[in-house]
Amino acid sequence: MRESFDEYGAAGRLKVTVAAWRWAVASGLVPAADAGAGRWSRAVVLAVDAEAVRAALRGPAAAFWAAERLNEALGEPLPFGRPRVTAAAVGHLVRAGHLAYLGGDADHPDVHPDQVEALARRRDLPAILDRHVPLGPDQAAVRLGVRRADFDRIVDLGWITPTGAVDIDYKRQGGVTRVPLYSAQDVALLPVIRPEVDWHELRTVAPGRRSPLSALTPTADGRDTVPMAGIARIAGVGRAAVANWRRRHPDFPAPTGGTTTHPEFDRPAAVAWLLAHDKITAPSSIPSATLVLRAGQHRQGAAVPAG
């Protein structure tokens, strides 16, 4: 007599679909695995109400439907600076624990429509997407509200680096291409951590014009430093506040250069500290002044860069 079951065995014993069992586990209708990783004891499985498990599953829904529902929740048309949510993004949300995996391709999984609806109603949906869904170069340009060429220049300057990559099969355009992926939060933070850049100019430069970033020098590896005044500007505070943080917080980054009077700090380390201590946040939208100007470009028939 079998003493424990995995999800397939449990679903078979109750004569329900594996998707229904997975949803019952994710929603708490079924107790957590008690006989090892991904295994339930015979007593637990036999105590489950099979009809309740069947009734709890509505769907499941395909990742493509879930993506469109989340796009609708963001607004139609999408707010300027918001790339479309894709089926692959739904896979990232599943891996982050925001949606339960119910089956299908792990990269484009089936999910429960009720859980998607609950996620769509969350006011912090844009922040959730920024935290958990990486962006390709075109999507990153849209998120920043700049041309794709300008985002490529940002990469060349060493201001942001890929966090991963994905292989995409462009069957009509030469086969498989490896596309870098960037943290959406890192992308959204760029205007915050690079306040010396005129982001309004960068976002409104006319198509075909030279990038305002073209004259800048790339950052040498390991040499992206910022003085205390720069940290203060990033955080929107005075230099005295940064000096106070250094005194009060033992985990404040140690200087990596400069002098005792004018120390310099590793910019990524300083940004990570500011984020961890809620001194800065990633903007969820692009300033309205840019939106007004872009609307004017539309009315005049000018093309707005899509990234």
State pLDDT tens for residues 216-250: 999 887 789 999 999 999 999 999 999 999 999 99
State pLDDT tens for residues 61-98: 999 999 999 999 999 888 889 999 999 999 999 999 99
Query: pLDDT class for 291, splitting at 50, 70, 90?
Result: low
**Helices 148-156 and 137-144 meet at what angle, rounded to 10?**
100
Range of the domain at 65: 59-133
**In a shared domain, residues 155 and 288:** yes
**In a shared domain, residues 90 and 32:** no
- pTM confidence score: 0.82
Kindly state the average pLDDT of the residues 241-265: 94
pLDDT higher than 90, residue 1 = no
**In a shared domain, residues 142 and 67:** no
pLDDT of residue 177: 86
pLDDT of residue 296: 43
State pLDDT tens for residues 134-166: 999 999 999 999 999 999 999 999 999 999 998
Query: pLDDT class for 307, splitting at 50, 70, 90?
Result: very low
**In a shared domain, residues 45 and 162:** no
pLDDT of residue 171: 66
Question: Which strand (E) or helix (H) includes residue 116?
Answer: helix 113-120
Amino acid letter, 178: R
pLDDT of residue 303: 35
Long-range contacts of 199-203 (CB under 8 A, 24+ apart): 200/287, 200/289, 200/290, 202/146, 202/150, 203/144, 203/145, 203/146, 203/286, 203/290, 203/294
**In a shared domain, residues 237 and 285:** yes
pLDDT of residue 297: 42
Query: pLDDT class for 128, splitting at 50, 70, 90?
Result: very high
Query: pLDDT class for 302, splitting at 50, 70, 90?
Result: very low
Whether residue 145 contacts residue 187, with contact meaning beta carbons closer than 8 Å, is answered with no
**In a shared domain, residues 190 and 225:** yes
**In a shared domain, residues 165 and 129:** no
Q: How many domains does the chain have?
A: 3
pLDDT of residue 95: 96
**In a shared domain, residues 181 and 202:** yes
Query: pLDDT class for 295, splitting at 50, 70, 90?
Result: very low
**In a shared domain, residues 151 and 298:** yes
CA distance 53 to 70: 26
**In a shared domain, residues 34 and 168:** no
**In a shared domain, residues 43 and 189:** no
DSSP of 233-295: HHHTS-HHHHHHHHHH-TTSPPP-EE-SSSEEEEHHHHHHHHHHTTS----SS--HHHHHHHH
pLDDT of residue 72: 97
